Amino acid sequence: MREFGGAGFDQANHPKVQHIRERVEQHVGNVYGAEAAAGISSAIMREADLADAAIESHTMVDKWDESDVVTISYADTVQKEGERPLKTLQRFLKKNLRGVSSGVHILPFCPYTSDYGFSVVDYQQVKPEFGTWKDIQEIGEDFDLMADLVINHCSSKSEWFQNFLLDKDPGKDYFVLGDEYEDLSKVVRPRSSPLLTQVETASGEKEVWCTFSADQVDLNFRNPDVLLEFVKIIKSYLKKGIKIFRLDAIAFLWKESGTSCVHLDETHEIIKLLRLVIETINPEAIIITETNVPNKENLSYFGNDNEAHMIYNFSLPPLLVNTLLSGDCSHLKTWMMSMPPARRGRAYFNFIASHDGIGLRPAEGLLSQSELKGLTDTLCRFGGEISMRKMPDGQLKPYEANISLFSALAGKIGGERDAWQVERYLCAHTIMLALEGVPAFYIHSLLGTENDLQGVAESGELRAINRYHWDEAALEDALNDDEKHHARVFRALKDRIKLRKQQAAFHPNATQYTLHFGKQVFAFWRESLNRDQSIFAIHNISDAKQVIPIVELNLIATEQWRDILSGVVITEGMKSIELEPYGCAWITNK
């Protein structure tokens, strides 16, 4: 119930409203200057209805726990002829993943022109071929909804850009012009395409900044009107039930001549402002930053507990895949020991595969050049391709591996496909489920989907290799056929997810320590926040049987211990635990 009302109520002077406004002005001033702060802040307060939201808001502390698991899917991954794919997806998710996943990330569902959704034409609409907002909200009845805020750029066919070409509002000042930046020599690129694209406008030829492609034109956040447009979009999404916001390509948001134009201070300040807006409207809402960059740079997006609630754990996919293909967990252990525990209120967003591919930049400085080449050569042998990015000096370097995760784990580095693909695959996900953070499963990983080479041939897009479109009936048949790996993988992963959700020691912020049992065993210890549950998570990442002496686990003798994956109880006379190739054990005292 509101704390205000009546003719004499002075909303503007309410302490909560004043507090929020002061914080908004601080962030705005840090970006646009003190003189402009008051006017821009007033517009933000008005467009987001922040005064009303501030008065009604309550403090939200715990946004996640061990029961949180996210499934990631395109709107049209599962299809039925004659039916909107969002409706088909909703039925599949409800039937198969309700009670398993807590949240669903529906990848870009707005009308778009390229990059499979990440070139948005209209942020307020759902692509008609996919369905409607009502279809999305029906998914939200069973799962927390996560959506992309494609904030760095929009489609060249959007109303904003078409207005830019005609020198009309809204849009004529919404885009970054190359001639306004004297020195572009240090700009960090995620692609090999040209940075600037020439376009013909009503006022002559201009060069617009395109970080990703000529169809994805970068938005000019130096113009506060662009920021206000996204405040309106955020407010609209929150009203429609979106709870988790993925800030796409956020690292590239602000441009400054003579710099890398990535991770700039203004970008961090805008994230802080957006978090304030989002949490004021809905204290339960979450921001996740998508920054496919080396690990140290990625960690900066936690800020001082005032930026991202979660960050994608981008170094995990290449390191974990390399670990399982090499049979050596040394680099994975070194990385994990270097990772600072995410403080309460922050968490890592763990994933192994995505709609794009396996990012290779986050492995820079963690794998040597020869190791990286061994990894990429192996992935190519298993049907994958390597996308490149252009360095400031024009040199091309590996950016990501385009391959389905199931196909990627078909064998070992330097070898051919072997008999351990399913076991290796399940081991990878079992590790992810046990790690500090919130686990996220790309739907094709849950389903064990293989490389879609036909999709690549038809689209000409390397990323299509991991974006297969399942026919609903064919998928259900595959998941009910025990002879097919899809059924074995889906059933096993769901069982392990359900087990994870019951363990307090797997809270995303529970204590984690690395254990040392040699290069072929990746192990760590987790302890619940209230310290009453311990779990020793032990994983054989090799194709040879491993023996773990019980004495080396240092189990407390007065407690009863058991492996919750196998059900085996650790008895007093037991000397060791044997793990079959790619076998796993979660040994707990609860």
In the chain, what are the domains?
153-218 (3.90.400.10), 511-588 (2.60.40.1180)
DSSP annotation of 578 reads E
Residue type, 481: D
pLDDT recorded at residue 9: 52
Q: Can you give 129-178 as a three-state secondary structure string?
A: CCCCHHHHHHHCCCCEEEEEEECCEEECCCHHHHHHHHCCCCCCCCECEH
Output the pLDDT for position 573. 84
- Count CB neighbours of 36 within 10 A: 13
Confidence (pLDDT) at 292? 86
**In the prediction, which pLDDT does 6 show?**
42
Please report the pLDDT score of residue 394 as a whole number.
84
Residues marked active site are found at: 248
- Count other Cβ atoms within 10 Å, centred on residue 556: 10
pLDDT tens string, the chain, 590 residues long: the values are: 233 344 445 688 899 999 999 999 999 999 999 999 999 999 999 999 999 998 887 776 689 999 999 999 999 999 999 999 999 999 999 999 999 999 999 999 999 999 999 999 999 999 999 999 999 999 999 999 999 999 999 999 999 999 999 999 999 999 999 999 999 999 999 998 999 999 999 999 999 999 999 999 999 999 999 999 999 999 999 999 999 999 999 999 999 999 999 999 999 999 999 999 999 999 999 999 999 888 889 999 999 999 999 999 999 999 999 999 999 999 999 999 999 999 989 999 999 999 999 999 999 899 999 999 999 999 999 999 999 988 888 889 999 999 999 999 999 999 999 999 999 999 999 999 999 999 999 999 999 999 999 999 999 999 999 999 999 999 999 999 999 999 999 999 999 999 999 999 999 999 999 999 999 999 999 999 999 999 999 999 999 999 999 999 988 888 999 999 999 999 988 999 999 999 999 999 99
For residue 149, the model assigns a pLDDT of 98
241-256 b/e (C-beta count within 10 Å ≥ 16 → b): bbbbbbbbbbbbbbbe
Question: Would the CA dihedral through 363, 366, 369, 372 be positive or negative?
Answer: negative
Closest residue by Cα to residue 38 from 49, 51, 28, 48? 28
CB 436 within 8 A of CB 341: yes
Can you give the pTM of this predicted structure?
A: 0.96
* 482 touches 488 (CB < 8 A): yes
CA neighbours closer than 13 Å in the CB half-sphere of residue 542 = 17
Task: List the structure tokens of 60.
Answer: 């939200």
The predicted structure's pLDDT at residue 147? 98
Sequence letter at residue 118: F
Q: How far apart are CA 161 and CA 479, in angstroms?
A: 45
Which pLDDT score, from 0 to 100, does residue 3 have? 36
